[in-house]
Chain A
């Protein structure tokens, strides 16, 4: 399965939790941090992202960026 990573634009997050519900691997959660608008931004708290983009597709505030991680060796092969 593909490996991925989620990037969070913490200042844009409104803590709605739609991405947390959408993630099939349950690697997202609402963090303990507070952004300048007083919301608690989402965070990826563990490995296991499969780069499916469901979180980013459901996010109403374009908070998330998704990265696909590939082994350098696999690319060269």
Chain B
């Protein structure tokens, strides 16, 4: 019998245990980014910008040069880095609390300026690190510690759809929403990330990938139930697909 290894840890991923909760799909998104960095051969010139939130230790897990930005300011830091080092490949990796709440101004203006950066946006519809508070992306009726009876649109408005909002702008080159809840979605997510990084390598402009992700701990669900909940409740609210592709 001959054995051939057909799946292993990507080389640009550090061999450590992550701090994420069991079943948290941040790890899948990390691995996909690392796989794309390996496959495109850009590890030496890639710069990551880590957010504030659960993914704050991104720089411990993906073996590339990295900044840690102030809360929500990752697109601004990434813009500066890309302008000063135009040959580098710069990406920010942000959660929904970071990007869609405190960092709303930075992401909208970075996108509107058409900065040549890639933004990976993890949307799990809740604040993870701080303990499960309502996020701008929390679904109507979804329970969180700050809306224990479910999000009431009369008090807190409706979930913000970042992809749809950014795709009204003229400058962004690539905008897509994917998921990593189940393998069939994960395979498509990887292709979207590849296109996003390729958009930047080709100098076509701003690229943005929203990844629908689970937060079993703060949703109060078992990991497998959380993936089903995402399919049933988040996908109708946040439809998957490509919103903008480079001409």
Contacts and interface: CB of A to CB of B under 8 A. Distances in A.
Interface of A: 4-5, 11-12, 14-18, 20-22, 37, 39, 51, 53-54, 56-62, 64-72, 75
B87 interface: no
B51 to A, nearest CB: 18
Contacts of B20: 60-61
B2 A72 contact: yes
B183 A16 contact: no
23 contacts: A16-B22, A16-B223, A17-B23, A22-B183, A39-B22, A53-B6, A54-B183, A58-B182, A59-B27, A60-B24, A60-B27, A60-B28, A61-B27, A62-B27, A65-B7, A66-B5, A67-B4, A67-B6, A68-B5, A69-B3, A70-B2, A72-B1, A75-B2
B6 A12 contact: no
Contacts of B7: 53, 56-57, 64-66
A68 B6 contact: yes
A18 B3 contact: no
B70 interface: no
B3 to A, nearest CB: 5
Interface string B208-224: 00000000100000111
A68 B25 CA distance: 26
A75 B27 CA distance: 36
B24 A11 contact: no
Interface residues of B, number: 31
B2 A51 contact: no
Nearest to B216: A16
A35 B19 CA distance: 16
A3 B127 CA distance: 42
Contacts of A18: 23, 223-224, 227
A10 to B, nearest CB: 11
Contacts of A65: 5, 7-9
A65 B9 CA distance: 8
A52 to B, nearest CB: 9
Contacts of B3: 5, 67-69
Contacts of A72: 1-2
Given A15-B22, A51-B6, A61 B227 contact: no
Interface in B1-49: 1-9, 13, 17-18, 20-28, 31
Contacts of A15: 22
